[in-house]
């Protein structure tokens, strides 16, 4: 074992979790050796075996997506414990990320996907959280473990130059706040600017995910229900930190300040939302042109502020480039593609010609689809 992050598992013979220690040792080695596929495969196998052991059905042939539901039901029925959101998110990260990276249909024009170093570390952190939760509940004890230490992995893999960057974006457990907010209020807020850190993977949503989102929106629109868009994990950088005794005015002050929001998890959804909002804008705009006599039809102000920005009477992507910065490596096509999609236009034909230049970027396909 390279690190001591999993030392708490060594003596867990009472609930027979000690076998996970060896599996995690293999996963740690694969990270240092820059192996692309060992960690998602081994992480999935570990979860499958763990869930089967917990529900006492070790010979089960059920796939992971069904086992994780059995896992959730088990803790609710046997211990009256609801699996925490953070644990459920960790389980979903392993199952979904593994599927997207190992079972994707690879289009040679788009290049082969690969796990980033930080993404591989996320597997270890997620498994560690899941195991810690299971041990605490099954043993009926509140076992404390030290914070996850990632420095050793960077040193062993000779990735020292990325260490400070990784530290800057890691979760800060003592500063985590949970907020429920409408997607439009969050993304279209003039004071919220988004940064996709360099360690994130490229934008990869395709028609299937976009269709699912549309189905949800249309279905919930008919019943006037809210659509749950999922949790976004982000680090908010501003100059106004809230104290424990903050007032309502303090919160309002913070909301009215320009903030850089570094996305830890949620890049796919934020990017897709911006694309979808631009589609709404373009459709609204065309409707206004066609039915200009309808005085009661007004362009939503939030869309105007972002997509109608001009300099010297020409449409400019200045606001877009302030709003959305994607620092992922090798993503120039996707980055420029999103800027072209989100910028306003006078002539639709010229706009379409610009889109065709960046046709290989997934953002263009999704704009066309919406």
Angstrom distance (rounded) from CA 363 to CA 206: 9
Residue 9 predicted with pLDDT over 70: yes
Average predicted confidence (pLDDT) for the chain = 79
> How many percent of the chain have pLDDT more than 70?
79
CA distance linking residue 108 with residue 123, whole number of Å: 27
Question: pLDDT tens, 122-148?
Answer: 899 999 999 999 999 998 888 788 888
* Structure confidence at residue 25 (pLDDT): 92
pLDDT band (50, 70, 90) for residue 350: confident
The structure tokens listed for 210 are 């976009």
The reported pLDDT for the residue numbered 259 is: 83
Report the pLDDT value the prediction gives residue 90, as an integer from 0 to 100: 87
What average pLDDT does this structure show over 241-265?
Answer: 66
**Selected residue with higher pLDDT from 342 and 290:** 342
Among residues 197, 201, 183, the alpha carbon closest in space to that of 262 is found at: 197
Interval 57-81 mean pLDDT:
92
Using pLDDT thresholds of 50, 70 and 90, give the confidence band for residue 74.
very high
What's the pTM? Answer: 0.51
Answer for the pair 118, 166: CB distance below 8 angstroms, yes or no: yes
Average pLDDT over residues 164-183: 58
Coil/strand/helix, residue 191: coil
Q: Name which of 153, 188, 175 is nearest 234 in CA terms.
A: 175
Could you tell me the two tokens for 289?
């042109």
Are residues 151 and 164 in contact, defined by beta-carbon separation less than 8 angstroms? no
Residue whose entry in the numeric block shows the structure tokens 């993304």: 187
Q: What angle do CA 42, 45, 47 make, to 5 degrees?
A: 110
The burial class, CB within 10 Å (0-12 / 13-18 / 19+), for 223 is exposed
Weakest mean pLDDT among 77-86, 182-191, 355-364 = 355-364
pLDDT, one tens digit per residue, over 220-229 is 777 777 777 7
Let me know: does 209 contact 271? Beta carbons within 8 Å. Answer: no
The CA R_g of the chain, rounded to the nearest whole Å, is: 23
pLDDT at 48: 95
> Do the strands 192-196 and 259-265 form a parallel or antiparallel pair, or are they unpaired?
parallel
pLDDT score for 307: 86
Q: Taking a C-beta distance cutoff of 8 angstroms, is the pair 88, 65 a contact?
A: no
More confident residue, 177 or 274: 274
Distances (CA, A) of 370 to 83, 86, 209, 215, 337: 35, 31, 11, 12, 16
Please tell me which residue, 186 or 53, carries the higher pLDDT value.
Answer: 53
What is the C-alpha separation between 233 and 230, in angstroms, rounded? 10
For residue 89, the surrounding DSSP H or E stretch is helix 85-102
């Amino acid at each position: 074992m390279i690190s001591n992050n999993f030392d708490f598992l060594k003596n867990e013979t009472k609930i027979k979790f000690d076998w996970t220690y060896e599996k995690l040792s293999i996963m740690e080695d694969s990270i240092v050796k820059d192996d692309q596929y060992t960690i998602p495969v081994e992480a999935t196998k570990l979860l499958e075996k763990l869930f089967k052991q917990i529900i006492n059905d070790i010979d089960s042939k059920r796939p992971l997506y069904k086992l994780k539901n059995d896992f959730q039901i088990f803790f609710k029925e046997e211990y009256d414990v609801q699996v925490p959101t953070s644990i459920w998110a960790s389980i979903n990260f392993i199952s979904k990320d593994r599927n997207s990276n190992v079972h994707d249909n690879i289009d040679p024009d788009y290049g082969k996907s690969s796990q980033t170093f930080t993404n591989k570390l996320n597997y270890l952190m997620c498994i560690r959280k899941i195991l810690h939760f299971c041990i605490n509940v099954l043993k009926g004890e509140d076992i404390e473990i030290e914070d996850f230490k990632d420095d050793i992995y960077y040193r062993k893999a000779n990735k020292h130059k990325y260490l400070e960057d990784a530290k800057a974006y890691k979760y800060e457990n003592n500063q985590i706040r949970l907020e429920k907010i409408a997607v439009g209020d969050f993304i279209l807020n003039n004071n919220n600017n988004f940064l996709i850190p360099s360690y994130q993977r490229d934008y990869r949503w395709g028609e299937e995910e976009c269709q699912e989102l549309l189905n949800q929106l249309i279905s919930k629109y008919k019943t006037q229900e809210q659509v749950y868009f999922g949790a976004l994990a982000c680090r908010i950088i501003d100059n106004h930190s809230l104290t424990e005794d903050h007032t309502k005015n303090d919160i309002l002050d913070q909301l009215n300040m320009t903030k850089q929001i570094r996305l830890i998890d949620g890049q796919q959804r934020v990017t897709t939302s911006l694309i979808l909002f631009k589609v709404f804008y373009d459709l609204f705009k065309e409707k206004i042109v066609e039915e200009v006599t309808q005085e009661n039809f007004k362009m939503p102000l939030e869309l105007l502020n972002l997509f109608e920005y001009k300099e010297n009477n020409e449409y400019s992507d200045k606001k877009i480039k302030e709003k959305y910065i994607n620092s992922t490596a090798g993503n120039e096509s996707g980055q420029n593609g999103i800027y072209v999609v989100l910028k306003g236009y006078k002539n639709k034909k010229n706009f379409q010609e610009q889109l065709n230049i960046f046709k290989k970027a997934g953002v263009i396909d999704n704009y066309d689809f919406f």
